[in-house]
Amino acid sequence: DNLFYQMRWLSASASSPTTATIIVHEVERLIKSAASFVVSIAVIVIGFRDPILGRSVVMSQAGDSHSSGRALLFTGFVVTGFVTTVLGPVLPWLTARWLLTDAAAGALFTIQFTGSIVAGALSGLIVARIGSSRALATGYALMATGLAGLALGDREVGTLAIGVAGVGLGFVVPTTNLLVARLTPEHAAAALGAVNFCWGIGAATWPVVVARFNPAPGVPIALLFVSTLLLLVAARMAATRFPAHA
């Protein structure tokens, strides 16, 4: 009998992961998360280099008066990617916090993107009235407010906040694409591909950010962190003057 139980114990030990294996897998996961975050920061700091054109799409030659504007647009679009996918990784936290049903949780996506669609449809009129810089600054400020409300508010405030964030997306996304195309008319297609690549980095990195902040210091701190980034971009947008034709 003792021999039988010893054989079963050895078999179970061989089939279960060892402590060393678990540690290796955890280290690999951390390395991948860190690499993704570093790539996102690299885009923000030095811009994205287009492999097709063989030159920087964000930062052009020294003395180009539009280069700083393009860099800001690309940087902002990384953070906009965070907002677009904000609900997915935090939905379990919101569901537990607000005791949401599946239908109520799904309705948050509807609210966010309804706001985005309506604001996007009106963005052309808004830009024509107040200008690109103010429209973008307003959009980023709305997204920052929405994420802060989602982090700190109760269910009613948080639901309203996600709609506000959606309106901010509607202001920013079409306006950014239009400006990038007009600021790089000779390579508009490549520039648009690059700026939306930056958006994709933000969208893909947001789950990593939430994972790094959860369980400590917590999902609200992750939301407030991105809200702060959005406020910084909004302030920079307000101080930037894009060409009148853009």
pLDDT number for residue 58: 39
Helix (H) or strand (E) holding 55: strand 55-56
CA-to-CA distance for 61 and 50, rounded, in angstroms? Answer: 14
How many CA atoms are closer than 13 Å to the CA of 195, on its beta-carbon side?
Answer: 30
Among the listed residues 43, 47, 79, 89, the one whose alpha carbon sits nearest the alpha carbon of residue 208: 89
Do you know the residue count of the chain?
A: 246
Classify 156 as helix, strand or coil.
Answer: helix
Which residue type does 34 have?
Answer: A
Tokens read off for 174: 């079409």
Residues of the chain with pLDDT under 50: 2-6, 9-10, 12-16, 20, 22-24, 26-27, 30-31, 34, 38-39, 41-65
Tokens read off for 191: 């520039």
Burial class (CB in 10 A: 0-12, 13-18, 19+), 216: exposed
Q: Are 158 and 97 in contact (CB under 8 A)?
A: no
Q: Facing residues of 49 across strands?
A: 56
Query: Considering the chain, what is the average pLDDT of its residues?
Result: 81
pLDDT number for residue 61: 39
Residue listed under structure tokens 């599946």: 102
CA-to-CA distance for 97 and 100, rounded, in angstroms? Answer: 8
Radius of gyration of the chain from Cα atoms? 22
pLDDT number for residue 244: 58
Tokens read off for 167: 């309106």
In order of 94, 233, 244, the CA distances from 172 in angstroms are: 26, 11, 18
Beta-carbon contacts of 104 under 8 Å, excluding residues fewer than 6 positions away, are 98
pLDDT number for residue 76: 95
pLDDT number for residue 66: 61
Threshold 0.85, pTM exceeds: no
pLDDT number for residue 140: 98
